[in-house]
Amino acid sequence: MNEYYRHMKTLSIRFTKLVAEALGLDEDAFEALQEADVAQRQLRCKLLRYSACPPPTTGFVPHTDSNFLTYLIQAFEEPGLQFQTPSGDWYAAPPIPGTFIVLLGRVQVMEKVTHNLVKAPIHRVMSPTNGVHHCVGFFQGVSMDMRVVDAKFECLLLLSASFAS
């Protein structure tokens, strides 16, 4: 698990730079959100286990993550993770071997940078019909001292109306 954590730490730092570049920002634009000392960053790895629940329980309450980015590996075959569309419908995110699901959390900076076009997805985990779901989650937080008003970003990317819809 320690080796996995180290690899995910490296991946999360690189991925954050790629997100910044994709938004037309300098690759280090999100460094202001992080602890200056990489060893002190708010990172955690968690093994998640979801068991079948007796009726009428169908799963976990819909929510958004409270961290900056979440990286999930779904280690089961039956779909359990679902995302809510803007119209309120739910769709399943079936497990795909060898892939991550990356979720934006409620950190308001990303919403501010993209003028509310990129938002934290509302999602839920449905209980398995039988057996157990396992996931490996890696959670990338922000500095404990960070305030959204301190983060000053100017989005250089022109987002088209088609992307907004």
Task: Give the pLDDT confidence of 60-106 residue by residue, as tens digits.
Answer: 889 888 888 899 998 877 778 899 999 999 999 988 888 999 998 87
Task: Give the pLDDT confidence of 51-69 residue by residue, as tens digits.
Answer: 777 766 677 889 888 888 8
pTM of the model: 0.78
Task: Please give the residue range of the domain that contains residue 28.
Answer: 2-164
The Cα–Cα gap between 20 and 15 comes to 9
Which amino acid is located at 95 in the chain? P
CA-CA distances (angstroms) from residue 130 to 5, 16, 25, 51, 59? 30, 37, 46, 8, 13
Domain containing 68 — which CATH number?
2.60.120.330
